[in-house]
Amino acid sequence: MADRIDIGIDGGGTGCRVALSVAGGPIVETRGGPANIVTDPAAAEAAIRLALTEALAARDLGFEALPQARICAGLAGGRLPGAADAFATRLPYLAYVVDDSVTALEGALEGADGTLASLGTGSFFIRKAGGVTRHIGGWGFRLGDEGSAAWAGRKALSLALRVADGRLPPDPLAEALIDACPPHPVLWAATASPGDFAQLVRIVMAHPESAMAARIHAAILKELTEGLTDLGHQPNAPLVLTGGLGEMLAPHLPEALTSGLRPALGRPLDGALRLARGLP
């Protein structure tokens, strides 16, 4: 019998990664380009193919080995109806495709029950309890991503314009934000990406004494608390905060949330490989 091959794949808008292990041995990791299966499935397919090819080659294997491999792919966009199945027709050996939030939770808690709140450029909340997994949010910058860095950056810039209109008291943060978005925030925002808005949070964090910054911080905490409540998260239950903004917020959470707070035990890629190893 051929040695067992386990493969985990983590794919999102900034890139993809592959972890491969043969017969439970050392893990090979490779990287590829962006892999959002909804916004650009063709690019996602090409990126994953390349990363897989490099991982297989590192173990003197080729694509002919994939039908016998156990593969779990956690891919951005996989939660949308039909998206995972549609993408699996492009790469039919990807028999187990899930949203990247699922592999993120698996990696962060190593399969145990608990909650993961991801506050990066975007946001999502996911919880596993008693064998049931529930996921909320993650609907993107246009329709959701509440509490995320992009959401907070947009809110900050909106408040800065209120200051400019005289609707709020003068604030050095408002001036700094407007200066960062030439020639005018409205024109800047017309072509800005979610990542561009997310970068504005760095300016907010650089003004800790600002009343505006305190207002934005309170708004983020409100969205985080509401998301966890809507998800059914219980006080003292395991909670992991990930994403750049989530990690910055962790030391400033109210006591009701810090009781169960813990660092992530692993990455989404680790979660994908762990789920692959659990396949029969």
For position 167, what pLDDT does the model report? Answer: 95
Structural domain spans, the chain: 5-110+265-277, 149-258
The letter for the amino acid at 81 is P
Alpha carbon distance 67, 42 (integer Å): 21
- pLDDT tens for each residue of 194-207: 889 999 999 999 99
Q: Cα–Cα–Cα angle for 263, 265, 269, nearest 5°?
A: 125
Rounded-to-integer distance, Cα 120 and Cα 249, Å: 11
251-275 tens-digit pLDDT: 888 887 788 889 999 999 999 999 9
The residue with tokens 């002919």 is 64
The partner residues of 5 in beta bridges, in order of sequence, read 22
- Phi then psi for 76, rounded to 5 degrees? -60, 130
What is the bridge-based pairing of β-strands 5-12 and 15-22?
antiparallel
The yes-or-no answer to whether 5-110+265-277 and 149-258 have a common fold is yes
Residue 247 has pLDDT above 80, yes or no: yes
Provide the pLDDT for residue 38: 81
Long-range contacts at 162-170 (CB < 8 A, ≥ 24 apart): 163/212, 168/212, 169/211
pLDDT in tens, 26-78: 999 999 888 888 878 888 889 999 999 999 999 999 888 888 899 999 988 88
Q: How many CA atoms lie within 13 A of 153 on its CB side?
A: 27
Element (H, E) at 181: none
What pLDDT is recorded for position 18? 95
pLDDT value at residue 184: 95
Which of 107, 109, 219 shows the shortest CA–CA distance to 158?
219
User: What is the model's pTM?
Assistant: 0.84
Query: What residues pair up with 22 in beta bridges, in sequence order?
Result: 5
The answer to whether the beta carbons of residues 122 and 138 sit under 8 Å apart is: yes
- The yes-or-no verdict on residue 190 having pLDDT over 60 is yes
CB 238 within 8 Å of CB 260? yes
For residues 237 and 114, is the Cβ–Cβ distance under 8 A? Answer: yes
Which tens digits make up the pLDDT trace of 102-154?
999 999 999 899 999 999 888 999 999 988 999 998 888 888 889 999 999 99
Closest CA to 119 of 252, 271, 276, 237: 252
Strands 123-129 and 132-137: antiparallel
How many Å apart are CA 52 and CA 22, to the nearest integer?
A: 14
Owner of token pair 């997310």: 198
Q: How many helices (H) and strands (E) does the chain have?
A: 11, 9
Q: What is the pLDDT of residue 144?
A: 84
Which CATH topology does 5-110+265-277 take?
Nucleotidyltransferase; domain 5 (3.30.420)
Domain 149-258 has CATH 3.30.420.40: yes
Reported confidence tier of residue 1, pLDDT bands at 50, 70, 90: very low
For the segment 152-169, what is each residue's pLDDT rounded down to a tens digit? Answer: 999 999 999 999 999 999
